[in-house]
Structure 1
């Protein structure tokens, strides 16, 4: 109920400025649809008609289509290849969250679409980790290897990849992904509270949260960003902080957003956490006016070798 209430308030807030102009049939209204994917059809003009529940949604060349782990082409979205462990073809009967505009006839054109087989989460403990078999709370866990939603593997609480074989039974963990038709959890993000060694001792920077809220109109309001991550301190045992630069990536072009400061953990001194909260500048630019889809983080600190990573932004 809280989620539904939040969606209603968001929709109301977004549409109120346009409501006074509703008599003008040329003014689009913000709309949101979230639910099971019941249809995917490629139209003759190259657009895609996605049916969410019973709501028809048009996806055009300007629509951002993504999973939590990757930006998708229309071909990937339409692929009938089954996701690991699923009986359904492609993303059919999976979950979609579409955000966009509707015209005076109620026809929705999506600006951003998030798709996934399901959105499942478990917080608990590792109950088996031997012989290549992993269980969490006695539930089998595998890592999704599909390019449409590739897993980041096992990570510590700083989102740094770790040696899974070194993780002990009883370790606290949280896993995100989907529960498949073979009664196995397909993990895309597995965080474990552990002292297990990292896969690499090279300087690393990682994302934990990459979230943006699209505010309209673009010419008057910037988009709100909440970005959090982790970093390694292997390369500089004396440093208490490190500097992280953040960029949005659009068509391989990097635009600077701002900087964050990573602080060394007192409990796990080889690692640290950082956070960036900001708002993009209002602009009429057709690219920069929209919320970023991809964010890059670069560790500019001495000895970090400009370590960087990129992540898909959860735009709401």
Structure 2
């Protein structure tokens, strides 16, 4: 049986390294030619960081989202607005329009880009998390803090409705 000398060990090592390098370069070439995976439905909700009028993109939570002309765009008060409304909206008290507001985007991602099919924009959104500590006599408190409800729009009741003890199927807290 032949023993592995230092010279033959170096030769085997070089051959193994060369073979590994060739395999890696071939796999990198194959990976570069592989198309992205099939589009998956995505939903992204978060702060609008940027609006690019020319590129028709929104940046939401660091993700750049393409908004094609076919995408439905809405706000809490308007079920259908145009891209021109999004980029040129002069909102009272908000000189940056929808920037720094909240977007909920439904669309598809192919692994390299996100394309929106439905965009819901809200210039102001206040999220409150906690325990309901009172929901009676027209008063709603969250962790002891009173939540002041907006008045109802014409034809719609405010939330929660005060004619019933609970609108969520939970007993009212007294």
* TM category, shorter: 0.5 to 0.7
Measured on the aligned residues, the alpha-carbon RMSD in Å equals 3.3
In structure 2, C-alpha distance between the alignment counterparts of 1:52 and 1:29, rounded to whole Å: 18
The answer for the alignment partner of 1:153 in structure 2 is 153
**Inter-CA distance 100–193: structure 2 relative to 1 (3 Å threshold):** same
In structure 1, C-alpha distance between the alignment counterparts of 2:147 and 2:76, rounded to whole Å: 25
Q: Which runs of 5+ in 2 are unaligned?
A: 1-33, 129-134, 140-145, 165-174
Q: Which runs of 5+ in 1 are unaligned?
A: 1-22, 127-136, 143-151, 161-172, 176-190, 195-316
Out of 27, 30, 39, the position equivalent to 1:28 is 39
The number of equivalent residue pairs is 117
Report whether the alignment pairs 1:53 with 2:61.
yes
Using the size of structure 2 for normalisation, the TM-score is: 0.54
Out of 15, 28, 38, the position equivalent to 2:49 is 38
Higher normalized helix content (fraction of residues): 2
The answer for the alignment partner of 1:95 in structure 2 is 102
Higher normalized strand content (fraction of residues): 1
Structure number with bigger Rg: 2
Report whether the alignment pairs 1:109 with 2:115.
yes
**Structure with the larger RCO, 1 or 2 (CA within 8 Å, 6+ apart):** 2
The answer for the alignment partner of 2:14 in structure 1 is none
The answer for the alignment partner of 2:86 in structure 1 is 77
Quote the offset at 1:119 in angstroms: 3.4
Residues 1-316 of structure 1 aligned to structure 2 (within 5 Å): 24-25=35-36, 27-43=38-54, 48-70=56-78, 71-82=80-91, 84=92, 86-105=93-112, 107-120=113-126, 125=138, 139=148, 141=150, 153-155=153-155, 159=156, 174=159, 193=163
